[in-house]
A and B are shown apart, each in its own frame.
Chain A
Amino acid sequence: MGKCLLVTIQVDMHDQLAMTLQDDLATAIAAQESNGLLIDISALEIVDSFIGRMIANTAAMCRVLDADTVVVGMQPAVAITLVELGLTLKGIYTALNVERGMAVLERAAMARL
């Protein structure tokens, strides 16, 4: 498989910071010619509609830049809350942990060849 970018979100981001990260990720994907982006959110205690939208937008941007996105490590309480909130992250790959996430990206890259 090609190059992958791995991002771990470690802090509770305010909205501007989330937008900056979104732009930085799209820039880095293009600059490094990555085929995959793995976002580890295991440290996040909550994902509200803003962060959820930022993740969905990032995945959409990466898709246009010829890269797949996988979100890994979502805590069960966060998953339940997101769905109840009305955010289903449709069309975004998810995996339980980094290892499985890498496997998802590898399969996605293979399918594209």
Chain B
Amino acid sequence: MSVAPVVTKQESFHLHSSTDVVVARRMVRDWAQGLGLSVLDLTKVVTAASELARNAVVHGGGGVMHVQVVHAGDREGLRVIFKDQGPGIQEIDRAMQDGYTTGGGMGIGLPGAKRLVNEFDLLSTPAEGTCITIVRWKA
């Protein structure tokens, strides 16, 4: 039985520049540490957040990040939401493949970030923007 997660704590942060990406990953790191995630889980979720925060800045033209502590039953986790009002992702299936890139990078950001978290949800509408939600549950 899965229980709908309840948000117990939230903070938002605007992403506009590459220095904001640094602040964003520090924020996710602090929250993950506060929640008591293991060093490995912390490293994974911070790395995933770094990829997604950069995407929001580079591809989404800036956006906002919401960091949340969520509870579902007796589980506790860190949820991070990245929202931008950019052009959206044209081909989501291809964007989720390793090695596919439109930005001159290596094309591992999205599929790589997905592998580093427990839950990964991507919503993208052309010309409206992209919203990606990740969750890392406390082991």
A residues contacting B by CB (< 8 A) are: 12-16, 45-50, 53, 75, 77-78, 80-81, 84-87
- In the complex, how many angstroms separate the beta carbon of B47 from the nearest chain A beta carbon? 5
Interface flags, B31-57, vs A, CB<8A=1, else 0? 000000001101110110011001000
What are 12 A-B pairs with beta-carbon distances under 8 A? Answer: A46-B46, A46-B50, A48-B47, A53-B105, A77-B40, A78-B43, A80-B43, A80-B44, A84-B44, A84-B112, A86-B111, A87-B112
Q: Which residues of A contact B26 (CB under 8 A)?
A: 12
Size class of the contact patch on chain B: 20 to 34
Which of B42, B106, B111 has most chain A Cβ within 10 Å?
B106
A-B contact count (CB 8 A): 73
Query: B44 touching A48 by the CB < 8 A rule?
Result: no
Which of B29, B43, B44, B98 meets A86, CB within 8 Å?
B98
Majority secondary structure, B binding face: helix
Inter-chain CA distance A68–B79, complex, in Å, is 41
Query: A14 touching B108 by the CB < 8 A rule?
Result: no
Query: B116 touching A85 by the CB < 8 A rule?
Result: yes
Q: Which residues of B contact A45 (CB under 8 A)?
A: 29, 43, 46
Query: A81 touching B29 by the CB < 8 A rule?
Result: no
Inter-chain CA distance A84–B50, complex, in Å, is 15
Q: Which residues of A contact B29 (CB under 8 A)?
A: 45-46
A49-B19 in contact given A12-B26, A84-B116, A85-B115 (Cβ < 8 Å): no
Inter-chain CA distance A77–B109, complex, in Å, is 18
Q: Which residues of B contact A15 (CB under 8 A)?
A: 18, 21, 54
